[in-house]
Amino acid sequence: MLDIQTAVSLQTFNTLALPARAEFFCRVDTDETLLEALRWARDKGLRITVLGGGSNVVLLNDIPGLVISMAIPGIGLQHQIGDQLAVRVGAGENWHLLVQRTLAEGWYGLENLSLIPGLAGAAPIQNIGAYGVELSERFLSLEAIHIPSTERLSMSADDCRFGYRDSFFKHAGRDQYVITSVTLSLSSKPQLHLDYPALQQALVERNPTELTPALISEVVCEVRRSKLPDPAVLPNAGSFFKNPVIAKEQYARLISQYPDLVGYPQADGLVKLAAGWLVDRAGWKGVMRDGVGVHQQQALVLVNRGGDGAKLLALADEISQSVLSQFGVTLELEPRVYP
């Protein structure tokens, strides 16, 4: 049943704990309630904002219109052909609990994506990725509702136009759809992806007798906990900037000047730089002021210790300027900023 509340604080609905309020707010746990909410807002000419776990948003001000908090549940095996499994997940499922559930069921493929905050429905928005695997590699399709027409539709991987921290939903599809479920391509036969340097290093240190998806998940969680702050303890939105992708000529010039620069050659001949290294080398790690700062263990993570969104963005801007002037590299914000 649709229950619209007014002037709701969103501080506990965003992992930066920014103190914005929603003019109108509702939680939706079925497709039908979602449709009701969309029609209610449309009839009143209100703006619609969809919120998952709030782990990739910067809320600068109160949000006008209706904020829809996604809570549609459900995890189910759709079909199995040989080792290949199609698993459909409601948009309101917690991502990490989903990863744990799939491992318990013997449905493999999400282990490298353990402990990413947020909900399943947001995973396609920026094509979540970690430790050498991206959602796009495990994605079959999604179901969504087109906001202006309230029509239901299904989208393939091609429709979603996934890229590094990118998709159709950040461009032409921005604010046009509510994702209601995601169907993943998993396998009953483990295929481990162990290439990511920090994962490799942690495995060498552990020297396990057997490599299993459950062990990979455990090690990924351990590596993540060693550098990423827990938002429940220290509010943050994960990486504040994307890793910039530059031409190989520019990379060659930079590496001759900074031999320990971290870069990953891409299939298209470009090179992805570790923005954390750039921000760290520009001297920002651990800097704290006006209640906002740069995390001690990971310079790509900005933290909020009682500041506000404007102060966070001012800090981010100063960091970007200094990285641009020192390295000639432009940084792009990763979280979605709500002005």
Nearest-approach distance from CB 111 to ligand EPU, in angstroms: 13
Smaller CB separation from ligand FAD, 109 or 238 = 238
Out of ligand EPU, ligand FAD, none, what residue 231 binds, judged by CB under 5 to 8 A for its kind, is ligand FAD
Out of ligand FAD, ligand EPU, none, what residue 331 binds, judged by CB under 5 to 8 A for its kind, is none
With a CB cutoff of 8 Å and minimum separation 6, the contacts of 244 are 272, 273, 275, 278, 329, 330, 331, 332
Out of ligand EPU, ligand FAD, none, what residue 298 binds, judged by CB under 5 to 8 A for its kind, is ligand EPU
| 179 interacts with ligand FAD by CB under 6 A | yes
Out of ligand FAD, ligand EPU, none, what residue 285 binds, judged by CB under 5 to 8 A for its kind, is ligand EPU
Nearest-approach distance from CB 299 to ligand EPU, in angstroms: 3
Nearest-approach distance from CB 229 to ligand FAD, in angstroms: 6
Question: Residue by residue, what is the 3-state secondary structure of the chain?
Answer: CCCCEEEEECHHHCCCCCCCEEEEEEEECCHHHHHHHHHHHHHCCCCEEEECCCCCEEECCCEEEEEEEECCCCEEEEEEECCEEEEEEECCCEHHHHHHHHHHHCCECCHHHCCCCCEHHHCCCCCCEECCEEHHHHEEEEEEEECCCCEEEEEEHHHHCCECCECHHHCCCCCCEEEEEEEEEEECCCCCCCCCHHHHHHHHHHCCCCCCHHHHHHHHHHHHHHHCCCCCCCCEEEECECCCEECHHHHHHHHHHCCCCCEEECCCCCEEECHHHHHHHCCCCCCEECCEEECCCCCCEEEECCCCHHHHHHHHHHHHHHHHHHHCCCCCECCEEEC
The region of 212-220, 229-237, 260-268, 275-283 touching ligand FAD under the rule CB under 6 A is 229-237
Out of ligand FAD, ligand EPU, none, what residue 227 binds, judged by CB under 5 to 8 A for its kind, is ligand EPU
The region of 172-180, 189-197, 201-209, 310-318 touching ligand FAD under the rule CB under 6 A is 172-180
Smaller CB separation from ligand FAD, 53 or 213 = 53
Among 18, 51, 245, 278, binds ligand FAD (CB under 6 A): 51
Number of residues that bind ligand FAD (CB under 6 A): 32
Please give the structure tokens belonging to residue 85: 């499994």
* Residues within the interface to ligand EPU (CB under 6 A): 130-131, 196, 198, 227, 238-239, 242-243, 262, 274, 276-277, 280, 285, 298-300, 334
Smaller CB separation from ligand EPU, 154 or 297 = 297
- Residue positions annotated with a catalytic role: 165, 239, 334
Contact positions vs ligand FAD (CB under 6 A): 15, 50-57, 70, 91, 116-119, 121-123, 125-126, 128-130, 177-179, 228, 231, 236-238, 336
